[in-house]
Amino acid sequence: MPAIARFYPAIFSAIALLGCVLPFGTGGAGPGEANLLDFPSAMSQLGKLSSIFNPSDSSVSTGTASLIASLVYIVPVLAIVIIVLNFRGTVEKTLQLFTAIAWLLAIFFVPYFAILSLINSNPLLRGLSDLSGGAQLQGNFGIGGWLIFMAAVGLSLASIGILKFEAVGKRA
């Protein structure tokens, strides 16, 4: 196994960190693009906006949507933990696999459930959602999401020992 293979967890974690700050979602790559770490703030703003649509209902709570959205912070936190443990030489294979699964859940399901929670917190939004077919799981999550996805796949393959590079032209 080449010496670089020892640093696969740190390399894939650095790629995931890069994915956190690159555009997440559809649209161009302009300076106004939101990244994964902007998602909780956006959900909080949408929650404030949704209360305008139904000011008479004081029971509307959008805090759950913001709480669910804040789970995306697990991506950079686990990436930093993996990097630190990798350079200390104490990173475990099970932690790498758990991290890869958590990253995949964060980019696929956290936005979906946060938006679903926001829609269900407001009767008007719920009615509009019913007209449009409801909240749907989307696969368009920009370059940032794709980098996190590829880092999660690479980290999981490295943790179970499938990802190996052999020297080209080396004979036994």
Exposed / middle / buried, residue 126 (Cβ in 10 Å: 0-12, 13-18, 19+): middle
Residues of the chain with pLDDT under 50: 28, 58-60, 167-169, 172
The pTM for the full model equals 0.77
- 62 three-class SS: coil
By 3-state DSSP, what share of the chain in percent is helix, strand and coil, each rounded to 5? Answer: 70, 0, 30
- How far from each other are the two terminal CA atoms of the chain, in whole angstroms? 13
Tell me: the pLDDT tens digits for 41-86? 877 777 776 666 665 554 445 677 778 888 889 999 999 999 999 9
